[in-house]
A and B are shown apart, each in its own frame.
Chain A
Amino acid sequence: MHFKGRTWVFGRNVNTDLIFPKMWFRPTYEPGEMASHLMVGMDEEFPNKVRRGDIIVGGQNFGCGSSREEAAAAMKEAGIAGVVAPSFGRLYTRNCINVGLPIIVSPGIDEQVTPGDELEVDLAIGVLRNLRTSYEARLPPMAPESLRLIEDGGIANYTRRILEERRKASAQVRS
């Protein structure tokens, strides 16, 4: 997996209440609805400024707090290519993997990026580069199961596939 994009930089302990405030919670969402509220707890104009293919860089413990999947799903929907931080909240990490959003741990990255810098991430060789400063970091390998889910486009696609296999198997048993 490989991606390159313009960066937005946020600080330490940015919690999911800020990434997707609860006032925008709905039982179901129209296409594009979640993306239109992304990061508004930090910057109300963010949904208008962000472009598809951009990269979000966070500080330590980015995405801490509640289990709300919208924090990850809204980024995926807005076309964020990936999110990079020294560390992440556990539920946010899990939700990113499950919605198919690449989530990259890179110690000290928040010190190495100025908003707008172009970052390049290559997971196959495990390298991250800041193309403006030529800063380069080795990335710790991602668990193959997590990488597979992300490359699959998330847990929904995985679940659909397994359900389909089960249906085929039970149809075979009947015939």
Chain B
Amino acid sequence: MHAISKIIARHADRKSVEVGEIVNVTPDYVMLNDRGAARAADLLRKMGGDKVCFPEQIVVVFDHHYPPIRQQDSISQKATREWVKEQGITKFHAGEGIGHVIFPEKGYAFPGALIFGTDSHTVTNSALGCLATGLGHSDIASYLALGYNWLRVPEVIRFNLHGEFKPGVCAKDVALRIAQLYGEDAAPYLAVEFSGPLTAKLPMSERLVLCNMVIDFGAKTGYIQPDDTTARFMAQRAPHLHWTAETTDSDSDCGQIVDLNVGEIDSLVAVPHDLSDIRSAGTLSDVRIDEAIFGTCTGGRIEDFRVAASIMKGKKLAPHTRMMVNPGSREVYLLAMREGIIDALVEAGATVGVPSCGPCSGCHQGMLAPAENAITNASRNFKGRFGSPESNAYVASSATVAASAIAGYIVAPAEFIQR
């Protein structure tokens, strides 16, 4: 069995499961974001449920619309606060950042775990060697009522990453390369495992970026076999938590194994409005950037901020370019302040917002006008994702976004990185 099948079997109280089989599973943690909590509470009532089964397994995070800028959100968040109290849910985080950033920070994601969330980017957590996947609101409401939900055991596609990065290239470029080679549906309904010598060298922050992006090629979850890097991360984040990693019995437990030499990859950009329409950053020097959007569950970690500072410190944004920065979490915000990164970005001309999803999915400040171009280290370049449906979003790595904000046009970041 693949480790992912074993995770499902354990959470289904079974010895083994087969790929393609549908089983009922009980997850370790379920994340409800602001919208998810409000909708799931509403649907739970409509399903005739009053109490949630396992309040201690529920984590409520306000991230999309926090702090609220519309009356409807403040009303709904007030109702959710009351619901959380009434249900005895104690794991409640408002203003602390994006669910997918704080889950690993707070030790809610751990090797061998099964995690559900009311958001497609819940897959991010799978970098820890767990199964993490998004569900719809009725799905989550049904879980709240019954304490389990159905899950189909996925086939696994393994990307064996090897080679050395060119200067300025990172995990985000690998994800964009996979979208380029195999399309936005590279892995429909599949689990995507990253392995190989390059993956082994990646720090947890880069692994989280890889796994964050798997939803955007159609996958159910990512997976990276827990190793020393994982164990060190867990020892720091949840020193008292006892966890057990599952292991894969044999290579034949993967449906497909794909070799990818990262040494062939340039700094890449997904151009509007298709994530699989990929160009080398160096070929897009005629694309004028009105706004750089920096942060989100893909690119809002402290390591992203360090990269941005290494490029932007002592420089100014191009005169025609603005930059919206949202730390992924309160912890990232504090660290970035202590390390002088916020100073460097603000001195360069960036606007720093609250730890939240920011303008991604058009939730918060920094939205685009028609015909404006944005470059972002978020995950999606969907039409209208950052404001006007007539605007254009280019998706790239944190380094490419920071360098392009300084240049005012899309550039490859290698020559901008200061040592």
B372-401 vs A, CB cutoff 8 Å, 1 = contact: the mask equals: 000000001011110001000000000000
**Contact between chains at A60 and B185 (CB < 8 Å):** yes
- List residues of chain B with CB within 8 A of the CB of A87: 185, 188
**Contact between chains at A17 and B138 (CB < 8 Å):** no
**Contact between chains at B134 and A22 (CB < 8 Å):** no
Indicate whether B152 reaches chain A with its CB closer than 8 angstroms: yes
- List residues of chain B with CB within 8 A of the CB of A17: 361, 382-385
**Contact between chains at B384 and A41 (CB < 8 Å):** yes
- List CB contacts (< 8 Å) of A43-62 with chain B: 60-61
- List residues of chain A with CB within 8 A of the CB of B185: 13, 60-61, 64, 87, 89
Least Cβ distance of A53 to chain B in Å? 23
**Contact between chains at A61 and B385 (CB < 8 Å):** no
- List residues of chain B with CB within 8 A of the CB of A61: 183-185, 188, 218
Indicate whether B150 reaches chain A with its CB closer than 8 angstroms: yes
Indicate whether B369 reaches chain A with its CB closer than 8 angstroms: no
Indicate whether A28 reaches chain B with its CB closer than 8 angstroms: yes
- List CB contacts (< 8 Å) of B180-205 with chain A: 183-185, 188-189
Size class of the contact patch on chain A: 35 or more
Q: How far apart sit A146 and B150, CA to CA, in the bound complex (Å)?
A: 10
- List residues of chain B with CB within 8 A of the CB of A21: 384
Q: Nearest chain-B residue to A88 (Cβ)?
A: B188
From the candidates B43, B75, B218, B389, name the one contacting A156 in the complex (CB within 8 A).
B43
Indicate whether A154 reaches chain B with its CB closer than 8 angstroms: yes
Size class of the contact patch on chain B: 35 or more
Binds A, one of B44-52, B102-110, B230-238, B301-309: B44-52
Q: How far apart sit A152 and B221, CA to CA, in the bound complex (Å)?
A: 28
Q: Nearest chain-B residue to A26 (Cβ)?
A: B72
A66-77 vs B, CB cutoff 8 Å, 1 = contact: the mask equals: 111100110000
**Contact between chains at A95 and B119 (CB < 8 Å):** no
**Contact between chains at A90 and B382 (CB < 8 Å):** no
Least Cβ distance of A27 to chain B in Å? 4
> Mind listing 8 A-B residue pairs with CB under 8 Å?
A13-B185, A27-B72, A67-B119, A69-B137, A88-B188, A89-B218, A162-B146, A163-B49
Interface residues of B (CB under 8 A from A): 20, 22, 35, 38-39, 42-43, 46-49, 72, 75-76, 79, 118-120, 134-139, 141-142, 145-146, 150, 152, 183-185, 188-189, 215-216, 218-220, 274, 276, 361-363, 380, 382-385, 389
